[in-house]
Amino acid sequence: MTDQFSRKASAWSARFSEPVSELVKRYTASVQFDRRLALHDIEGSLAHAEMLHSVGVLDEHDLEMISNAMARIRSEIERGEFRWSIDLEDVHLNIEKRLTDLAGDSGKRLHTARSRNDQVATDIRLWLRGSIDEIRTLLRTLRIALLDMAELNAETIMPGFTHLQVAQPVTFGHHLHAYSEMFGRDDERLVDCRRRVNRLPLGAAALAGTSYPIDRERVARALGFEGLCENSLDAVSDRDFAIEFCAAASLIMMHVSRLGEELVLWMSPRVAFIDLPDRFCTGSSIMPQKKNPDVPELARGKTGRVYGALVALLTLMKGQPLAYNKDNQEDKEPLFDTVDTLTATLTIFADMVRGIEVRAERMRAAAAEGFSTATDLADYLVRKGLAFRDAHEAVARAVRHAAERGVDLPDLSLDELRVFSPLVDADVTAALTLEGSVSARDHIGGTAPAQVRAAIARSRAALDQ
Ligand code: ARG
């Protein structure tokens, strides 16, 4: 009997009269990158073999031969001793070839009631499920770092900006808590996405199902899937679960990038709200004075490649007729790259956030400039009976006057302020202070230190659930 792998060492050789050219072999092979799925491929194969045995397709001897050979293959891979061959195209055929070398005819029976189409879809889902769990752990670590820093800075006053113009004073703790909220929603998206990733395609075979009496639920249980992909055509063809993950990953990177942008801005000597430890920065090869925030800049830059992966996968899918097409082999590299980028970025950000050195006096000085308590003065006049629009107008005139004099609102005397509204009294000073401004915003979601602390406590409790 001809060895099924003997020609070009492929699984479909008897149909062909000449081997594929070297160029085509290189062009169509995926083993260079999909070998990353190897352990999941083995896990899926073992569950499949066990099920085939339970329905009487494989006998005891076959199952034992397959299990033993797979255990050996796994340890060869883990020890880096497995010999990967591009002639065997992909991870599935590489492992299957080694299996038949070790387990003979029993090995050749493994592919009964299965196709690489449902096999690869299963492998990716298993791999992505594990990756999602790891990314969730990293997100959690980053959120704890943000919450710890936020708590330390629940009273640290900084200017809040709109249009990058000083708007109203806020606390740095409030600002950091905002990012914890963003990453919290990102985590919810991952949880939601994971439910749809975690369904079993195996059993769909090439596209139409199989004529063997398979037990898909048994395989799903063995592999920890929450359900089945219920249509065989859909099971082997769609990669929407991977696209959804890349969309969630893009949102995470978008949030990381905004934080990165702020860190860069805050670290600029012109702003100097913070400093970052030297270990996150690099120098310049020509300018000896430079200390550059390379890590946040690079994260901002890497956001682009994650968006790129999302667009690549959306585009990959859009023109494909049902069911499986070779196009889908292109799903892996963008997906792997997304997970790698996210993993590295979240790990380093959690560490970096803890390292932020806050320059509270610089933040405070910036908040004290730029008329940041103008809204508080307007609110004060409203409390004294003026309509808000009139109060707004009176304060606008006072700000203009102060700007012309080159001073800020708290620097104006009572008499000067009274020119703009006779309602101004001695108690106005409290309204014009930075502390008065932040502590007045005393409701859920407001920047008052007590509210920031309460919000942090709620976030921590949610993390512990
Ligand atoms: N390497 C292939 C992939 O990644 C495996 C499935 C191949 N199936 C096929 N019919 N050629 O999609």
Mean pLDDT of 326-352: 98
Model confidence pTM above 0.75:
yes
> Exposure of 76 by Cβ count < 10 A (0-12 exposed, 13-18 middle, 19+ buried)?
middle
Q: What is the tens place of the pLDDT at every residue in 372-416?
A: 999 999 999 999 999 999 999 999 999 999 999 999 888 999 999
- How many Å apart are CA 248 and CA 296, to the nearest integer? 20
Give the closest residue to 77 by CA, choosing from 110, 60, 99: 99
Q: What pLDDT score does 231 carry?
A: 98
Asked if pLDDT for residue 2 goes beyond 80, the answer is no
For residues 149 and 5, the model is more confident at: 149
Half-sphere exposure of 320 (CA within 13 A, CB side): 22
Ligand 1 pocket residue status of 116, Cβ below 6 Å: yes
Asked if pLDDT for residue 334 goes beyond 60, the answer is yes
Ligand 1 pocket residue status of 41, Cβ below 6 Å: no
- How many Å apart are CA 274 and CA 258, to the nearest integer? 16
Report the atom number in ligand 1 closest to the C-alpha of 30. Answer: 1
From 12, 90, 233, 325, give the residue whose CB has the most ligand 1 atoms within 8 Å, as the site to mutate.
Answer: 90
Q: What is the tens place of the pLDDT at every residue in 238-254?
A: 999 999 999 999 999 99
Ligand 1 pocket residue status of 117, Cβ below 6 Å: yes
Q: What pLDDT score does 15 carry?
A: 83
Q: What pLDDT score does 12 carry?
A: 63
The three-state DSSP-derived secondary structure of 423-458 is CCCCCHHHHHCHHHHHHHCCCCCCCCHHHHHHHHHH
19: confidence class by pLDDT, cuts 50, 70, 90 = confident
Helix (H) or strand (E) holding 170: strand 165-171
